[in-house]
Chain A
Amino acid sequence: MGQVLTIARTALHRFARDRSNWFFVLVLPLFLIVLIGLQFSDTASSGRVTIVGEGALAQDLADSLEDLDLSVTTADDAEAAQTVVARGRADAAVIVDASAEASWAAGDATSVEVLPGSAAAGQASLQAIETGLGSLADARLQQQALVGVGLAADAARDALADVDDAGPTVSVTTVGDSLGEEFAGLGRFDLGAAGQLSLFVFLTSLSGAGFLIDSRRLGVTARELASPMTANQVIVGEVLGRFGIALGQGAYIVVGTAVLFDVDWGDPLATALVLTAFCGVSAAAAILFGAMLDSPNVASGVGVGVGLVLAALGGSMLPLELFPDSLLVVSRATPHHWAYQAYAEIQRRGGAVVDVLPQVGVLVAMIAVLLPLGAWLLKRSTQRAL
């Protein structure tokens, strides 16, 4: 056992000694989780409108649009607003210039410029903006009508405020299953954190395959196999090294995101179990890669490609709930898919260890297939010329 641990410890040392690994293991995952979290906060509305103008009309219009569930931002000038819409960062822009403010304040008929984006969302926002403008126009019309029959302006405003709750209302009823309900209760960073956890743990493990190839190239693996150790001991040592790196990174992401971004990982035991099983699959896959490929450069390229493709197919870049049915079938072949399902059970539905046993079972089955295959290939690889 001591020899096995020595091999594992050496793998950990070699990994930790390379400071660049610290960036990929510690900094990049959190950077991406922040970036994804910031995107989530921006898209949770019926539409995005940017308004140019600082007067009373611009402010009232912004309030009116927010009442219609639109996300409203401000832009410095018309040119900036045009840029924001042209780049798809807002669905539409409303320009309330000084002349519109002056005309509105004087009680005259007023028009504002609306710039809808070219996509369908731009046209949809245009309709909402028309409704918002109509509300403001109606409110002023009511006041003018009351003043017209002799009521003072202040008294008219008060009388209208008193009956603000009167009149018909519109309520929206939804039917059918909602994707929103599935994600309800998830924090801003929660979904991104679970996806990125699997993506980075697997990617880092595959990138580590290059170390194993180096060991083979330098004859270290062959010497280990020639020493009074069984082949299985050598392989278990190598796997343990990769597993330690994966588990260390995984634990760091879980704790880091919980502390820094308040990500709710649910039952710690269940999360630890899923993470451990996933790290096992990642380590076994790294051994398989390290045994199959002979060039560290090629392993690095293929590792990044395979790591990202599997992550995309496994739900780390797009929630599985949005996948077409045909791709869901393919997705089930990835370990990320089962980790995603398990974290969803824990984070969204308060699942405990017993609830994630089916997903963990699949991950363990993957280890049971990959590990012997990797071990067999590693043994064969030492016979191969590099």
Chain B
Amino acid sequence: MDLSAIWTMTSSDLRQRLRDKSVFIFGLAVPLALITVFNFLFAGIGDAESMGPITVGVAIPDGDQVADGLPGVLDGVDNPDISVQDVVPTDAEAAVEDDSIDVAVVVPDGFGATVLTGGQADVEVIVPADEGLEEQVVTAIVLGYVDRVTALSTVASAASSAGFDEAAVQQVVATVRQGTQSPGLTSVVGETSDEQLGVEAYLVAGQTALFMFFTIGFGVISYVEERENGTLPRLQSMPIRPGSIIVAKTLVSFVLGVASTTVLLTAGSMLFGASFGRVGPIAVLVVATVVAVTSLVLLVTKVARTSEQAQIANTIIGLVLGMLGGAFFPVTGSGWLARLADLTPPAAFIRGLGITSGGGGVTDLGGPLLVMAGFLLVAIVAFVAIPSREGQ
């Protein structure tokens, strides 16, 4: 390899690119502007890390032994932290509407007596129209409590209708009541790794992954420009190996890609409080992603006839892979679309940053690095197999 020649070409190209405002615009200004605006828009909307405390107003009829266990059940919940207070049934809706309580639970008069005789009664849960997770949890707890009561009521009715005498009915009810104290179907809560970024960090990672395609394109695509402008034959006539020219162009892309990604991630951390974890694993991920994207752009330059074609093809590939990979919003669900999205470099990059932000090291980055390696391999095979446009 002609290292000196490669260095000369690379540094010359880098100087040219730095003078060209479009590198700054695509590599820094536009993504930073978008991250800033998205941060204003989306910062308060993403998944909350934890649920906030909630106040539940409960209206229980005096002396109702069936319903009076409900406040204790609600009070015993730690996540969310539930505070229970009494509420007058007729004031319950107004109290939720004026935010003096978050949720109201109204048990009707005569609830216990009605239930114990197999009758129907309705427990009303009053929630704000745009309820949050905390309100949903309260509704689920009330449903669970009423389910237990229903189990007693319906089994009594079933025993009666099956012709059992009162003593047998009471025995059945007692068995069920005893059984609900130690349910036969329980859950064991396990732990799973967390590969998710916070909202601010996701916005930074997504836009960085998207605009990486544009910045990297400025390096390799200049090879096609040299061909168009007639300067490529002149370079080739120099006493250097023919491969040195494309190596230098690839190096320009690599340097621009790593530099712009580093600046964007650093700026994102400083301006928006995004945290991505330790520098070492992030550096490995950034280098792997830039190499994978550079190999794709390299392939584009081999296929494109003109630099304009190469720019446009690069933009199209970048936008499609970026959107599919979740640069603007994460692709949810577990279907084919999500699986396809996982195989794109932007998705692997964002996932990798999720892993590093959760404390993961290089060894935990196996999945994302495998995706990048896959892209590199496919691009190399295609690059070798596809005939060059040079001379056409």
**Interface, chain A (partner B; CB < 8 A):** 20, 23-24, 28, 31-32, 35-36, 38-39, 42-43, 46-48, 50, 68, 73, 75, 80, 82, 84-90, 93-95, 104, 108-121, 123-124, 126-131, 133-142, 144-146, 148-149, 151, 155-156, 159-160, 162-181, 295, 297-298, 300-302, 304-305, 308-309, 312-313, 317-318, 322-324, 327
Minimum CB–CB distance for A255 against chain B, Å: 23
CB-CB < 8 A to B79: which residues of A? 123
| Interface residue? B85 (CB, 8 A) | no
Q: How far is the CA of A163 from the CA of B153 in the complex (A)?
A: 9
Minimum CB–CB distance for B175 against chain A, Å: 4
CB-CB < 8 A to B150: which residues of A? 138, 166-168
> Given A82, A124, A171, A173, which contacts B137 in the complex, CB threshold below 8 Å?
A124
| Interface residue? B324 (CB, 8 A) | yes
Q: How far is the CA of A289 from the CA of B157 in the complex (A)?
A: 77
CB-CB < 8 A to A177: which residues of B? 129-130
Query: Known contacts being A28-B319, A43-B332, A181-B129, is A160 close to B158, with CB within 8 Å?
Result: yes
CB-CB < 8 A to A165: which residues of B? 120
Q: How large is the interface on B (under 10, 10 to 19, 20 to 34, 35 or more residues)?
A: 35 or more
Q: Which residues of B in the span 306-345 have a Cβ within 8 Å of any Cβ on A? A: 309, 312-313, 316, 319-320, 323-324, 328-334, 337-338
10 closest A-B pairs by CB = A178-B129, A305-B30, A301-B25, A167-B150, A167-B153, A20-B312, A138-B151, A137-B185, A119-B47, A131-B144
> Given B42, B129, B184, B323, which contacts A35 in the complex, CB threshold below 8 Å?
B323
**Interface, chain B (partner A; CB < 8 A):** 20-22, 25-26, 29-30, 33-34, 37-38, 40-42, 44-45, 47-51, 77, 79-80, 93, 96-97, 111, 114-115, 118, 120-131, 133-134, 136-137, 139-144, 146-151, 153-155, 157-159, 161-162, 164, 168, 171-173, 175-176, 179-180, 182-196, 309, 312-313, 316, 319-320, 323-324, 328-334, 337-338, 351, 354
Is the Cβ of A142 less than 8 Å from the Cβ of B192?
A: no
Q: How far is the CA of A84 from the CA of B80 in the complex (A)?
A: 24
Is the Cβ of B331 less than 8 Å from the Cβ of A126?
A: no
CB-CB < 8 A to A47: which residues of B? 136
Minimum CB–CB distance for B155 against chain A, Å: 4
> Given B30, B44, B158, B194, which contacts A156 in the complex, CB threshold below 8 Å?
B158
CB-CB < 8 A to B144: which residues of A? 130-131, 134-135
Q: How far is the CA of A322 from the CA of B29 in the complex (A)?
A: 26
Minimum CB–CB distance for B300 against chain A, Å: 12
Q: How far is the CA of A7 from the CA of B144 in the complex (A)?
A: 72
The chain B residue with its CB closest to the CB of A21 is: B312
Is the Cβ of B334 less than 8 Å from the Cβ of A50?
A: yes
Is the Cβ of B188 less than 8 Å from the Cβ of A112?
A: yes
Is the Cβ of B333 less than 8 Å from the Cβ of A86?
A: no
The chain B residue with its CB closest to the CB of A148 is: B175
Minimum CB–CB distance for B274 against chain A, Å: 16
Q: How far is the CA of A134 from the CA of B122 in the complex (A)?
A: 20
Q: How far is the CA of A1 from the CA of B29 in the complex (A)?
A: 42
Is the Cβ of A168 less than 8 Å from the Cβ of B123?
A: yes
CB-CB < 8 A to A304: which residues of B? 26, 30
The chain A residue with its CB closest to the CB of B186 is: A111
Residue among A141, A160, A169, A179 with the most chain B CB within 10 A? A141
Query: Known contacts being A115-B191, A168-B146, is A173 close to B25, with CB within 8 Å?
Result: no
CB-CB < 8 A to B154: which residues of A? 142, 160, 163-164, 166-167
Q: How far is the CA of A315 from the CA of B301 in the complex (A)?
A: 37
Residue among B20, B124, B183, B184 with the most chain A CB within 10 A? B184
> Given A82, A151, A179, which contacts B130 in the complex, CB threshold below 8 Å?
A179
Is the Cβ of B45 less than 8 Å from the Cβ of A318?
A: yes
Is the Cβ of B49 less than 8 Å from the Cβ of A142?
A: no
Q: How far is the CA of A211 from the CA of B175 in the complex (A)?
A: 82
20 contacts between A and B (CB under 8 A): A23-B316, A47-B136, A73-B334, A86-B195, A111-B188, A112-B185, A118-B196, A134-B147, A134-B183, A137-B186, A144-B175, A146-B155, A151-B162, A160-B154, A163-B118, A163-B158, A166-B157, A169-B146, A309-B34, A318-B41
CB-CB < 8 A to A85: which residues of B? 192
Minimum CB–CB distance for B247 against chain A, Å: 25
Minimum CB–CB distance for B61 against chain A, Å: 13
Is the Cβ of A318 less than 8 Å from the Cβ of B316?
A: no
The chain A residue with its CB closest to the CB of B97 is: A175
Minimum CB–CB distance for B303 against chain A, Å: 13
Is the Cβ of B122 less than 8 Å from the Cβ of A170?
A: yes
Is the Cβ of B171 less than 8 Å from the Cβ of A149?
A: yes
CB-CB < 8 A to B194: which residues of A? 86, 117-118
CB-CB < 8 A to B20: which residues of A? 297
Q: How far is the CA of A138 from the CA of B30 in the complex (A)?
A: 58
Is the Cβ of A174 less than 8 Å from the Cβ of B129?
A: yes
CB-CB < 8 A to B49: which residues of A? 118-120
Minimum CB–CB distance for B308 against chain A, Å: 8
Is the Cβ of B128 less than 8 Å from the Cβ of A174?
A: yes
The chain B residue with its CB closest to the CB of A297 is: B22
Is the Cβ of B40 less than 8 Å from the Cβ of A169?
A: no
Query: Known contacts being A145-B175, A171-B125, is A133 close to B155, with CB within 8 Å?
Result: no
> Given A111, A146, A302, which contacts B159 in the complex, CB threshold below 8 Å?
A146
Is the Cβ of A176 less than 8 Å from the Cβ of B120?
A: no
Is the Cβ of A323 less than 8 Å from the Cβ of B41?
A: yes
Minimum CB–CB distance for A83 against chain B, Å: 8
Minimum CB–CB distance for A101 against chain B, Å: 12
Is the Cβ of A168 less than 8 Å from the Cβ of B332?
A: no
Is the Cβ of A172 less than 8 Å from the Cβ of B128?
A: no
CB-CB < 8 A to B182: which residues of A? 109
